[in-house]
Amino acid sequence: MLGSLWGLSYYLIAIGLRAFSPAWVVAGRLFFATITLKITMKRRGIDVTAQQRRALLKVMPLQALIANTLPFLAISVGETKTSAATAGMLNALTPIATFVITLATKDNDRRRWYNYGGLLLGIVGVALILQPWSTSGSSAIFGDVVLTLASLSYALGFVYTKRYVVDGDIKPLAASYYQVLFGLLLALPTLFFTSFSGHSSQTYVGAIAAIVTLGVVQTGFATLIYHRINRSLGPTASSSVTYIVPLVAVISSVALLGESINLIFVIGGLTILASVVAITRR
């Protein structure tokens, strides 16, 4: 479910970018996510103690930065330079990067030969997706690099969440709320460097609807699911739920946005998915 929600986010971002700058898309989705989770907390009667709030204030600013603000901005900027299908497929790098980080930080003690084989497959898959030998212009290359950095940031978020956020007695809903709240606060300064462009009222309506959906569903509720999964599975295994993200992102981009992909892209995507299976296998 989480993978499907995140997969559709690439389509919604593309619609939002038709009328708004990347900064406004990010701030908008985090705003509606914050409102959604705050209302949900109130309805469920979940309170945060003073001790829990102090613990959240220590860890959540960095968590929000690497799991929300930075990757959201990177993906939105990247989609202005390259296709939503490419953006979604490069998200499959998240579990691969998570595996590498857990190796470096010793957060994962289950490593087998097929895990390392999956890492090599992932490198090959990325090369096939990016196809640097056929990329024309620096704009597309810049977009690919930014999207790759977004996946790395997500990976850091998975590891950081497991180590510093979910091991305490803080409920996932409270952790989710504070994460998107700090993410919004960190995103607000970027709005001062952007401006509105003229668009038709119909374009604005579609873009706003996409951003609201992106905030409520793909960010608000998805962040809650994210914390629950990470709490029970750990960083590498929980990041594997993103394996379906590329499939949903590519299908929605081709079917709804009219984007096109070639055979090499498909082979690269299948290679990356195979690498994710190998890396997350226990």
Confidence (pTM): 0.86
Q: Single out the residue of 155, 125, 150 nearest to residue 275, CA to CA.
A: 125
| Two structure tokens written together for 57 | 């204030």
Separation in Å, CA 115 to CA 109, 112, 240: 12, 5, 13
SS3 257: helix
| Two structure tokens written together for 194 | 């952007």
Beta-carbon count within 10 A of 156 CB: 23
Residue that the structure tokens 């499907």 belong to? 4
- Is 191 within 8 Å of 24 (Cβ atoms)? yes
pLDDT tens across the length of the chain (282 residues): 655 777 889 999 999 999 999 999 999 999 999 999 999 999 988 888 888 888 888 889 999 999 999 999 999 999 998 888 888 888 878 888 888 888 777 655 567 777 788 888 888 888 888 776 665 555 678 888 899 999 999 889 888 877 776 555 678 888 889 999 999 999 999 998 876 666 777 889 999 999 999 999 989 988 887 777 666 655 555 555 566 777 788 888 888 898 888 888 888 888 888 887 787 776
Annotated domain spans of the chain: 2-280
SS3 153: helix
- Is 240 within 8 Å of 93 (Cβ atoms)? no
- HSE-CB of 187 using CA atoms within 13 angstroms: 29
